[in-house]
Amino acid sequence: MTNKSSLLNALCPSGTKHKSCNKCQSYGACRIDEKTEEQLDYIFSSIDESTFLKACPGSGKTEVVAIKAAYEISRWEINGGIAILSFTNNAADVITDRISEFTGLSSIVYPHFVGTFDSWLHSYIAHPFLHHLTKYNGEDQNDLDRSFRLIDPSSEAGFLNSYSTKYQYNGTGTPFANQYHYDVSSSQWEFASGKRTVDSARNSMTLEIWQNTELLNTKKKFWEAGFANYQDIELMCKELLDKQDELCDFLAKRFPCIFVDEAQDLSAGQLIILQTLHDKGISINLVGDLDQAIYNFKKVDPSLVQNFADENKMKVLKLTNNFRSHQGVVDFCNKVIDLSTPIKGNAKIPALDCFYVLYDKRNISDLSESFEQYLERDNSGLFKTSAIITRGHSMISRMRPASNANLKPSHEVALAIKIWSEGEEESLIDALKLMGKFLANKYFNDNSASPSKFHLPSIVSTASNWRTFIASILTKVCDDNEVKNLELQWSAWAKKLKVTLHNAVTNSHYLLEYNDRSYQFSIPSKLVFSSPSGDASKNVIQTIKYVKRNATNIPIRTIHSVKGDTLDAVMLVSSPTKGKDGHWEKWLEDSSQEPARFAYVASSRPRKLLIWAVPEGADETKLSTLGLKKLDWGNVNGTPR
């Protein structure tokens, strides 16, 4: 019996083999019959042997993992189960849905598990067993629920004063226990409160022995009370597994096989936990693409994943057929990361050249409209989905409607209202930041604020709660047509705004939750708000440096946000600033480093059209050497290949 026949017999209802059954109707073909030999080799690989499946972009790895899992589940006979782990709830949901399609089960049932790495770690190790390590006995000392309460590193809740160090660190105050963690890759404490200046000052220190001891003792007190941050959980789980052979033996029986999707995103701490489990006989299946590892800020190093595979002599299988993109896109991406493995593109997709376009740094906001107009000139329906991609949010802001530099607080409020009333989804974050800054200064002046979280006052419980409050204020204010009319003179507009904004705050402050339950929100009898000096007789709109966003339906997204997506057309926009990892020259500087992987991830999203947008003055010879052709926006479809 052939491999495909075995799969069809195991996963397809009687009478539907090679036909359009329910799971294949929308696909238009038998999803098993079309699988390649590479994919089948992995699906039928021994589940008892640790394996590393290296999958190129567009190789259908999620479906292959789902079919592999469904096939193993269909013939599973032992008490333990398979754990299939990913790194986001969305990815786990997609895998669950695919497995359900092939098993015919409405959900993944005991003894198997599909979810995030964190949820598995917390559910099967941390919450049920960590109290043995920390001696935490529950909130009332006799509570059977001894699960840990996760505290965000940015939290400054009042109760955390009981879990701070006695001494200050580098003149930045006494850190709370949630604001630092032990980094296993560097074997030292790392401060990560989210406040860059504070964290940088603390991390620049060379800690003395007594300081290391104090930080550890503060952590232990924190843990003994049932609190931890995510990094603490990983560290304690590692220590627990090292000390409890019985627990390792239990886990080896409970989950004799663990799959990890997007394995390139594994941290050093997670790899150490997997190593301990592997040493106890659990087979580990890693699935991913090391060239798509773009989480260095989380201390994710793809070389550690490769070392893990090498040291454990894992069987290596590959998926080298890219069904997403035509060969031109595939070849270009391989040049960016200097990939020697031949990757085959999709010959059924119309092949276009890959292009570069030059932009004027002063007019970077025009790029989105130019790209959209270029795509709209094509009447064949070739480009149904598209996106503009750039390295980070700062570049997105430069391509958005407004400049708010050197604005006074009153100007910022007016600009926030203008942006919110326009309703452009990608710009709303700017409105939240501007209004959040004003509200924090006006109503929470005695509390420190976090600029990176919409100026979240330290007394407010969470960033999401603060964001909800700001959004409510903006919505209520923008319901007033007079307030939205920024053609009014400042004197009249300010008079109207201070009444409307005061009422909005009065009717929305109940939404706020505080770290200190005794805290009372204080509302003055009226809001003090006036025209900026010298602007009283000017129209508001003329003073806020508002530039209307170019009308475009094309989303502008970060590289991280498009990871895993498939699009028809992509324009990847380089930063105009040299030396940053968002600049195109940085992408080409060293194919083994993360900037190259940024370009690789973004450039491998499109099926049909790839354009790099780089600043004027770029070395065009370098771009041509890569195989990019210069694009004139006036040319409709480029040159067919």
| Residue labelled with tokens 């107009």 | 373
Contacts of 174 (CB under 8 A, 6+ apart): 164, 165, 166, 167, 168
DSSP per-residue codes, 176-214: BGGGEEEETTTTEEEE-SS-HHHHHHHHTS---HHHHHH
Query: What are the structure tokens assigned to 534, written together?
Result: 């010298």
Alpha carbon dihedral 228, 232, 233, 235, in 10-degree steps, equals -160
336 close to 522: Cβ distance less than 8 angstroms: no
624 close to 616: Cβ distance less than 8 angstroms: no
Query: What are the structure tokens assigned to 434, written together?
Result: 């501007």
Query: What are the structure tokens assigned to 630, written together?
Result: 């210069």
Strand-pair partners of 357: 613
Rounded Cα distance, 81 and 58, in Å = 29
Phi, psi for residue 610 in degrees, rounded to 5: -125, 130
265 close to 241: Cβ distance less than 8 angstroms: no
Binding residues for ATP: 55-62
Alpha carbon dihedral 220, 224, 225, 228, in 10-degree steps, equals 60
52 close to 309: Cβ distance less than 8 angstroms: yes
Name the region of 236 (left: φ>0; alpha: ψ -120 to 50; beta: rest). Answer: alpha
516 close to 463: Cβ distance less than 8 angstroms: no
Phi, psi for residue 76 in degrees, rounded to 5: -75, 135
Closest CA to 636 of 402, 462, 380, 264: 380
H/E element holding 376? Answer: helix 367-376
Query: What are the structure tokens assigned to 288, written together?
Result: 């991913």
Alpha carbon dihedral 397, 399, 401, 406, in 10-degree steps, equals 50
* 3 state SS for 270-305: HHHHHHHHHHCCCEEEEEECHHHCCCHHHCCCHHHH
Q: C-alpha angle with apex 470: 468 to 475, nearest 5 degrees? A: 95
Classify residue 565 by its DSSP letter: -
Binding residues: 55-62
Contacts of 278 (CB under 8 A, 6+ apart): 50, 284, 312
Rounded Cα distance, 224 and 133, in Å = 9
CB 637: neighbour CB atoms within 10 A?
Answer: 17
Strands (E), 289-380: 315-319, 355-359
Name the region of 610 (left: φ>0; alpha: ψ -120 to 50; beta: rest). Answer: beta
Contacts of 41 (CB under 8 A, 6+ apart): 317
Rounded Cα distance, 539 and 486, in Å = 7
